Chains A and B, each alone.
Chain A
Amino acid sequence: DQQVKQNSPSLSVQEGRISILNCDYTNSMFDYFLWYKKYPAEGPTFLISISSIKDKNEDGRFTVFLNKSAKHLSLHIVPSQPGDSAVYFCAASHIQGAQKLVFGQGTRLTINP
């Protein structure tokens, strides 16, 4: 049973436009969420995170939005650049339960020039 779901396996966006990657979760105990980025032949690298006490966190071109009532989070990349082409993984954890990170299936983002 997939507790963290990324329902779009792939996404294609024009350079300079906004990229929106979505993630849904089913476990209401999750209270910390992260996005990782992965290039081919490399390991995932941390991108941005958000705690459940917030509904938005911004870091440069990257913004993560959290909608707790809908159990949904999204990653916005503005403006999108060719170097953003990668696989993006959403992950969640439960702080108090010391639960290990649970990852989504990943979304492959392609930025077209």
Chain B
Amino acid sequence: DAGITQSPRHKVTETGTPVTLRCHQTENHRYMYWYRQDPGHGLRLIHYSYGVKDTDKGEVSDGYSVSRSKTEDFLLTLESATSSQTSVYFCAISEIEGPTNEKLFFGSGTQLSVL
């Protein structure tokens, strides 16, 4: 299994509070991604990173920010959590970008509940 650790695995928080989810990899892969999984929507890309301090928005980036200060860590922050951000969040890594996206490896996910 790819060395991807997401923390925390579960979190319950209140509306309006800041939340940070962490993704840590031991594979030294260049590309890292944050997805959310919701019923009826599948997996949707929030943000991704193509290197240290290089990040870009995905299709559902509103309300989220990311940071990558080291190759191995990719942080997802909800500045002020809302109930619509209740979801399962997956981090993914890949060695290369482009046609061989089968190299996308996912973490085990973080279940976030915003009350």
Contact = CB atoms under 8 A, between A and B. Distances in A.
Contacts of A91: 43, 101
Contacts of B44: 103
Q: How large is the interface on A (under 10, 10 to 19, 20 to 34, 35 or more residues)?
A: 20 to 34
Contacts of B108: 41-43
A32 interface: yes
B90 A43 contact: yes
Interface string A74-98: 0000000000000001010101001
B41 A105 contact: yes
B102 to A, nearest CB: 5
B43 A89 contact: yes
B101 A44 contact: no
B14 to A, nearest CB: 25
Interface string A38-66: 00011111100101000000000000000
A43 B90 CA distance: 7
Contact of A45 (B99, B106, B109): B106
Interface residues of B, number: 27
A38 to B, nearest CB: 8
Interface in A15-30: none
A8 B50 CA distance: 34
24 contacts: A6-B42, A32-B99, A32-B101, A34-B102, A41-B108, A43-B106, A43-B109, A44-B43, A44-B90, A44-B106, A45-B105, A45-B106, A46-B104, A89-B43, A93-B101, A95-B99, A100-B45, A100-B48, A100-B58, A101-B104, A102-B59, A103-B35, A103-B44, A105-B42
Given A43-B92, A46-B102, A104-B42, 10 more contacts: A34-B102, A41-B109, A42-B108, A43-B90, A44-B90, A45-B105, A89-B43, A100-B33, A100-B58, A105-B41
